[in-house]
């Protein structure tokens, strides 16, 4: 079984590029060039240098002592929350802005849910002095206000997507429409391992620095290059793809993907794609997708804007169907509780997205000598209002 993308852009049954012809030139240009460019020495050097000098990589692989003690196992946190701008998202935007420059583009668009990808995109655009437009669902604009403010500070234009559920899916539609309308000079920086090929693979490659570092760090700390479990939350799936990447073919590593159950899988207000989804096409990619019998895409729900997406990346659909990864879904309430727990036990306020992953500790039993790596995908600054409201901390 192969877990990486094939030459045609598929992960098993999933993937491809189901795009309107208007996007063909851009996507094809990217497809033809992304590997050659990203594998070139000059690109690698510039990418690596910005990750180190600007983003602050490598991020620590932090041994969570109190948590490990409580759960009687070895828990490590891959600290993507320490990245510049506060989440793993910037790994990808750094890669893509360098890609865009090499493709001669001078305008950037992006979609955003939690706003982290929007901030990360606005950031690299400011860094490079490139025009930037961010699409964001109008509901998300409300619930992730600090990130909206940050994008504006960074000089990006934030456009509200007002259709559908007014969240990530709709922001993505709007971004795609923008790209259709601006086919020549614009690059679309997709924020997760979703969208038409080659995006899922390209984004996963840029994020794979997470597992590459994890390997080196584990070797130092545990004397072996791999953990027993890797655990990450999955919205589109980019932080998860980044953490899993170099472990995909190492079957000794158990892969756990955590989705947002929202108000409960059967509540009608959920974003647990693997449980609720069927094969379908969303945003140019064949994948698992929450939809009606009739093929209309369902409005997902999660308290965390970054997981509030009705699909998953095709890599994850494949990991699910092939049973390579174990999929667990966690309801809002438990995720929120874990946000507080991680804050008060380790002094790390996680993004609500990230908090979902940790709830696995209450669901699954681990052994004392097992090594678990959680992706601490982002910090919770953007979620303070939600936390405060939820826990009545005011």
Partner 1 sequence: MNRIDQTFKKNEKLLSIYFSAGHPKLEDTLPILVALQDSGVDMVEIGLPFSDPLADGPTIQKSSTCALRNGMTTEKLFDQLENIRDNIHIPLVLMGYFNPIMQYGIERFCQKCQSIGIDGLIIPDLPIDLYHEYYKEVFDKYNLYSMFLITPQTPEARIHFIDSISNGFIYMVSSASVTGAQNTFGKIHEDYFKRIANMKLSTPQIVGFGISNASTYQMATKYSSGGIIGSAFIKFLEKSGVAAIPEFIKSIR
Which residues make up the interface to ligand PLP (CB under 6 A)?
87, 113-114, 116-117, 192, 233-240, 306-307, 351, 353-354, 377-378
Q: What are phi and psi of 55, to 5 degrees?
A: -80, -30
259 is catalytic: no
Task: Sketch the per residue contact string, 304 through 343, with partner 1: x for CB under 8 A, - otherwise.
Answer: ----------------------------------------
Say which entry of its own copies, ligand PLP, partner 1, none residue 100 contacts (CB below 5 to 8 A, set by partner kind). none
Which of 74, 78, 105, 111 is labelled catalytic? 111
User: Which of 20-28, 52-60, 92-100, 106-114 is the region at the interface with partner 1 (rule: CB under 8 A)?
Assistant: 20-28
Which of 74, 78, 89, 382 is labelled catalytic? 89
Q: Among 2, 44, 224, 278, which residue interacts with partner 1 (rule: CB under 8 A)? A: 278
As a three-state string, the secondary structure of the chain is CCCCCCCCCEECCEECCCCCHHHHHHHHHHHHHHHHHHHCHHHHHHHHHHHHHHHCCCCCEEECHHHHHHHCCEEEEECHHHCCCCECHHHHHHHHHHHHHHCCCCEEEEEECCCHHHHHHHHHHHHHCCEEEEEEEHHHHHHCHHHHHHHHHCCCEEEEECCCCCCHHHHHHHHHHHHHHCCCCEEECCCCCCCCCCHHHHHHHHHCHHHHHHHHHHHHHHCCCCCCEEEEECCCCHHHHHHHHHHCCCCCCEEEEEEEEECCHHHCCCECHHHHCEEEEECCEEEEECECCCCCECCCCCCCHHHCCCECCHHHHHHHHCCCEEEEEEEHHHHHHHHHHHHHHHCCCECHHHHHHHHHHHCCCCCCCCEEEEECCEECHHHHHHHHHHHCCC
Q: Applying CB under 8 A, does 382 fall inside the site for partner 1?
A: no
278 is catalytic: no
Q: Applying CB under 8 A, does 177 fall inside the site for partner 1?
A: yes
Least CB distance to ligand PLP at residue 59 (A) = 13
Q: Applying CB under 8 A, does 285 fall inside the site for its own copies?
A: no
Q: Applying CB under 8 A, does 89 fall inside the site for its own copies?
A: no
Q: Among 37, 99, 109, 125, which residue interacts with its own copies (rule: CB under 8 A)? A: 125
The candidate with the shortest Cα–Cα distance to 177, out of 109, 95, 246, 248, is: 109
Q: Applying CB under 8 A, does 176 fall inside the site for partner 1?
A: yes
Say which entry of its own copies, ligand PLP, partner 1, none residue 192 contacts (CB below 5 to 8 A, set by partner kind). ligand PLP
Q: Among 2, 44, 45, 152, which residue interacts with its own copies (rule: CB under 8 A)? A: 152
Say which entry of its own copies, partner 1, ligand PLP, none residue 116 contacts (CB below 5 to 8 A, set by partner kind). ligand PLP
Least CB distance to ligand PLP at residue 368 (A) = 29
Number of residues that bind partner 1 (CB under 8 A): 35
As a three-state string, the secondary structure of 108-141 is EEEEECCCHHHHHHHHHHHHHCCEEEEEEEHHHH
The candidate with the shortest Cα–Cα distance to 244, out of 272, 218, 215, 273, is: 215
Q: Which is nearer to its own copies, 370 or 385 (CB)?
A: 385
377 is catalytic: yes
Least CB distance to its own copies at residue 275 (A) = 30
Q: For binding to its own copies (CB under 8 A), which residues are involved?
A: 52-54, 56, 59-63, 66, 79, 81-82, 84, 86, 122-127, 129, 146, 149-150, 152-155, 339-340, 343-349, 380-381, 384-385, 387-388, 391, 393
Q: For binding to partner 1 (CB under 8 A), which residues are involved?
A: 16-22, 24-25, 163-164, 169-170, 173, 176-177, 180-184, 278-284, 289, 291, 293-297
Residues labelled as active-site residues: 89, 111, 377
């Amino acid at each position: 079984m192969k877990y990486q993308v094939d030459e045609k852009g598929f992960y098993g049954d999933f993937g491809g590029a189901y795009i309107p012809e208007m996007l063909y030139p851009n996507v094809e240009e990217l497809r033809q060039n992304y590997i050659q460019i990203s594998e070139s020495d000059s690109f690698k050097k510039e990418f690596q240098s910005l990750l180190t000098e600007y983003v602050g990589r490598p991020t620590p692989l932090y041994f969570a002592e109190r948590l490990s003690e409580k759960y009687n196992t070895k828990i490590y946190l891959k600290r993507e929350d320490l990245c510049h701008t506060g989440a793993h998202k910037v790994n990808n935007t750094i890669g893509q802005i360098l890609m865009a420059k090499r493709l001669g583009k001078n305008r950037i668009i992006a979609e955003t849910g939690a706003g982290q990808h929007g901030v990360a995109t606005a950031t690299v655009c400011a860094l490079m002095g490139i025009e930037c437009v961010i699409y964001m669902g109008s509901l998300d604009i409300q619930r992730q206000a600090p990130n909206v403010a940050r994008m504006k500070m960074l000089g990006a234009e934030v456009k509200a997507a007002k259709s559908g559920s007014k969240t990530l899916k709709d922001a993505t539609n709007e971004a795609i429409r923008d790209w259709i309308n601006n086919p020549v000079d614009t690059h679309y920086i997709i924020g997760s391992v979703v969208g038409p090929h080659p995006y899922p693979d390209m984004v996963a490659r840029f994020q794979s620095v997470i597992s590459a570092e994890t390997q080196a760090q584990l070797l130092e700390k545990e004397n072996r290059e791999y953990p027993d479990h890797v655990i990450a939350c999955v919205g589109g799936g980019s932080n998860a793809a980044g953490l899993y990447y170099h472990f995909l073919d190492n079957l000794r590593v158990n892969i756990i993907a955590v989705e947002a159950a929202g108000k409960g899988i059967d509540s009608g207000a959920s974003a647990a794609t693997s449980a609720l989804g069927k094969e379908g096409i969303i945003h140019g990619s064949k994948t698992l997708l929450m939809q009606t019998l009739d093929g209309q895409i369902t409005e997902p729900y999660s308290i965390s804007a970054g997981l509030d997406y009705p699909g998953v990346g095709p890599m994850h659909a494949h990991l699910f169907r092939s049973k390579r990864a174990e999929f667990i879904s966690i309801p809002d309430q438990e995720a929120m509780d874990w946000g507080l727990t991680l804050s008060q036990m380790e002094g790390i306020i996680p993004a609500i997205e990230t908090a979902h992953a940790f709830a696995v500790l209450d669901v699954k039993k681990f052994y004392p000598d097992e090594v678990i790596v959680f992706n601490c995908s982002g910090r919770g600054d953007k979620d303070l209002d939600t936390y405060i409201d939820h826990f009545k901390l005011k």
